[in-house]
């Protein structure tokens, strides 16, 4: 796995090296032509007697017949829809030379491979705001006239590739920063709040810790996953009642980062506020926690990728797999009748509102398992501040793994203030957690799907 990663990084940078060469060469030829023809273009096209950059490029491509026909054709189209600025010129040249952008790579190596989990982190970090998640899949928006305002032209910055949990980029950095915590606690606990216990999945620890952290100002809002007809709907919430409404597991993919993307109304509203005013909690599956951590790897001068700079507390879930949304139709009951879904040893236990239970055995579940999950190796959200699952604890209780200083602070204070409770004698069954972790790793090892990255 690590070997593949290294190879990928090398190919990626070699390709980019080639692309940079082509780009530099074209730029240089353009510069020489401008100088030879006494063309002093105006980047903004505002001065009456200076041609705009795009006019200059057009004239340049007319004169330089050795340039690929595609350059001229593309730039002719491009002129119709693009503003004249440097980024646009780069995009035009890149398109014309058919060099893949980072997003093309993401499409080829993650989306087309069937290992995209639809988490939405590529859209959330996109520098040009040109990715949308539609039907669980990232799509790139072509810059059309009305959308130019938002600068929706891919700048080939590569951050979508970096933040994607299904590429190996930045994994060594994440591993170094969060992979080997010095002090790890594994506990059994449950909520003491009857409201939470009536709606939660297992011991209500996730909801209780989020509520505690909000109540005590450690965070002031949190990303959680709502439920519309068993379709996961990510939300940013601030109230206890919203936490109750979003408790419980939904087993299909959630584009959780879409609520943190620059297109989201809340993010637009808060983007000018001082960074430390927004202290978010974030609950997610291991792949989503990995994406958040990749964004939080400090770049030059300690800067991390927005919006991860607003995420303060990460609570990860244990996760064996997720299912395509069609699974809920396969159950064969009206979705509004379903009260709870729970994956157990026997299969998917569907509890209906009238109290009846239906079990969908694992052999039937198999065909709905997401491709992204078949290559996934993290069972316990190993990079989260706190991870929570049911494996290893008795029914109605949660297994809690606490890894960071912040995690310890939140857990111990919530315990001390009576928001959560530990049983008198019970301790988690470590073997079960290890078995599930090993099972997941072995499935990824034997998967027919290979992660190119």
Ligand X SMILES: Cc1cc2nc3c(=O)[nH]c(=O)nc-3n(C[C@H](O)[C@H](O)[C@H](O)COP(=O)(O)OP(=O)(O)OC[C@H]3O[C@@H](n4cnc5c(N)ncnc54)[C@H](O)[C@@H]3O)c2cc1C
What are the residues binding ligand SF4 (CB under 6 A)?
A: 101-103, 106, 110-111, 116-122, 126-128, 130-131, 138, 140, 154-160, 163-166, 285-287, 319, 321-322, 370, 372-373, 376
Q: Does residue 400 sit in helix, strand or coil?
A: strand
Partner interacting with residue 130 (select from ligand SF4, ligand X, none; CB below 5-8 Å by kind): ligand SF4
Residue 313: alpha-carbon gap to chain centroid: 16
Q: Which is nearer to ligand X, 201 or 372 (CB)?
A: 201
Q: Is 201 in the site for ligand X (CB under 6 A)?
A: yes
Partner interacting with residue 121 (select from ligand X, ligand SF4, none; CB below 5-8 Å by kind): ligand SF4
State residue 215 phi and psi, 5-degree precision. Answer: -60, -35
227, exposed or middle or buried, with CB in 10 Å at 0-12, 13-18, 19+? middle
Q: Which is nearer to ligand X, 100 or 226 (CB)?
A: 226
Q: Is 152 in the site for ligand X (CB under 6 A)?
A: no
The minimum distance between CB 52 and ligand X, in angstroms, equals 47
Query: Strand 311-317's sheet: what is its strand order?
Result: 231-237, 221-228, 280-284, 311-317, 386-389, 398-402, 185-191, 420-421
Q: Is 390 in the site for ligand X (CB under 6 A)?
A: yes
Greatest alpha-carbon span in the chain: 85
The minimum distance between CB 255 and ligand SF4, in angstroms, equals 7
Q: Which is nearer to ligand X, 52 or 121 (CB)?
A: 121
Residue number closest to ligand X, CB atom: 389
Q: Is 251 in the site for ligand X (CB under 6 A)?
A: yes
Q: Which is nearer to ligand SF4, 40 or 98 (CB)?
A: 98
The minimum distance between CB 318 and ligand SF4, in angstroms, equals 9
Cα 154 to Cα 91: distance, rounded to the nearest angstrom:
7
Q: Does residue 140 sit in helix, strand or coil?
A: strand
List Cβ<8 Å contacts ≥24 apart for 353-362.
Answer: 358/331, 358/333, 360/327, 360/330, 360/331
Determine which residue in the list 120, 136, 232, 316 makes contact with ligand X, applying CB under 6 A. 232
Q: What is the number of helices (H) and of strands (E) in the chain?
A: 18, 13
Q: Which is nearer to ligand X, 160 or 188 (CB)?
A: 188
Closest CA to 313 of 345, 291, 282, 336: 282
Q: Can you spell out the DSSP letters for 262-304?
A: TTSHHHHHHTTS-GGG--EEEEE-HHHHHHHHHHHS--GGG--
Q: What letters, b where the CB count within 10 A reaches 16 and e where it falls short, cover 186-211?
A: bbbbbbbbebbbebbbbbbbbbbbbb
Q: Which residues contact 361 (CB under 8 A, 6 or more apart)?
A: 346, 347
Q: Which is nearer to ligand X, 101 or 256 (CB)?
A: 256
The minimum distance between CB 448 and ligand SF4, in angstroms, equals 16
The minimum distance between CB 80 and ligand SF4, in angstroms, equals 21
Determine which residue in the list 319, 348, 350, 451 makes contact with ligand X, applying CB under 6 A. 319
Cα 288 to Cα 308: distance, rounded to the nearest angstrom:
12
Q: Is 398 in the site for ligand X (CB under 6 A)?
A: yes
For 54, what's the count of Cα atoms within 13 Å in the CB-facing half-sphere? 19
Q: Which is nearer to ligand SF4, 115 or 218 (CB)?
A: 115
The minimum distance between CB 154 and ligand SF4, in angstroms, equals 3
Q: Which is nearer to ligand X, 101 or 246 (CB)?
A: 246
The minimum distance between CB 290 and ligand SF4, in angstroms, equals 8
Determine which residue in the list 52, 101, 129, 322 makes contact with ligand X, applying CB under 6 A. 322
The minimum distance between CB 285 and ligand X, in angstroms, equals 5
Cβ proximity of 287 and 165 under 8 Å? yes
Residues lying near ligand X in the complex (CB under 6 A) are found at 200-207, 224-225, 232, 246-251, 254, 256, 283-285, 317-320, 322, 343, 388-391, 398
């Amino acid at each position: 796995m690590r070997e593949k990663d290294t190879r990928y990084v090398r190919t990626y940078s070699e390709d980019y090296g080639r692309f940079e060469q082509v780009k530099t060469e074209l730029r240089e030829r353009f510069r020489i032509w401008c100088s030879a023809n006494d063309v002093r273009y105006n980047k903004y096209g505002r001065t009456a007697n200076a041609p705009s950059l795009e006019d200059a490029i057009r004239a340049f491509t007319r004169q330089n017949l050795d340039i690929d026909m595609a350059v001229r054709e593309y730039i002719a189209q491009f002129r119709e829809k693009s503003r004249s600025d440097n980024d646009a010129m780069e995009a035009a040249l890149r398109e014309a030379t058919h060099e893949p952008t980072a997003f093309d790579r993401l499409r080829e190596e993650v989306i087309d491979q069937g290992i995209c989990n639809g988490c939405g982190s590529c859209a959330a970090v996109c520098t040009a705001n040109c990715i949308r998640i539609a039907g669980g899949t990232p799509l790139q928006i072509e810059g059309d006239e009305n959308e130019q305002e938002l600068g929706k032209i891919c700048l080939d910055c590569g951050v979508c590739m970096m933040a994607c949990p299904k590429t190996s980029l930045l994994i060594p950095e994440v591993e170094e920063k969060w992979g080997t915590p010095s002090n790890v606690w594994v506990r059994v606990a449950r909520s003491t709040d009857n409201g939470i216990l009536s709606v939660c999945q297992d011991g209500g620890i996730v909801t209780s810790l989020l509520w505690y952290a909000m109540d005590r100002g450690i965070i002031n809002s949190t990303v959680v996953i709502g439920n519309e007809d068993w379709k996961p709907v990510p939300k940013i919430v601030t109230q206890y009642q919203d936490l109750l409404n979003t408790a419980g597991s939904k087993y299909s993919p959630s584009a959780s980062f879409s609520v943190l993307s620059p297109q989201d109304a809340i993010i637009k509203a808060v983007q000018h506020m001082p960074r430390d005013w927004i202290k978010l909690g974030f609950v997610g599956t291991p792949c989503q926690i990995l994406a958040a951590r990749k964004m939080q790897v400090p770049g030059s001068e300690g800067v991390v990728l927005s919006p991860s700079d607003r995420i303060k507390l990460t609570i990860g879930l244990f996760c064996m797999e997720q299912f395509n949304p069609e699974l809920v139709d396969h159950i064969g009951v009206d979705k509004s009748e379903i009260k709870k879904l729970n994956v157990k040893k026997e299969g998917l236990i569907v509890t209906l509102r009238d109290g009846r239970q239906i079990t969908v055995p694992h052999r039937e579940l198999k065909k709905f398992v997401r491709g992204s999950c078949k290559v996934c190796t993290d069972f316990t959200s190993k990079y989260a501040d706190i991870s929570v699952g049911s494996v290893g604890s008795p029914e109605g209780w949660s297994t809690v793994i606490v890894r960071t200083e912040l995690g310890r602070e939140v857990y111990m204070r919530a315990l001390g203030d009576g928001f959560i409770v530990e049983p008198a004698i019970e301790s988690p069954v470590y073997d079960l957690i290890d078995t599930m972790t090993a099972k997941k790793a072995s499935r990824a090892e034997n998967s027919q799907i290979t992660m190119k990255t």
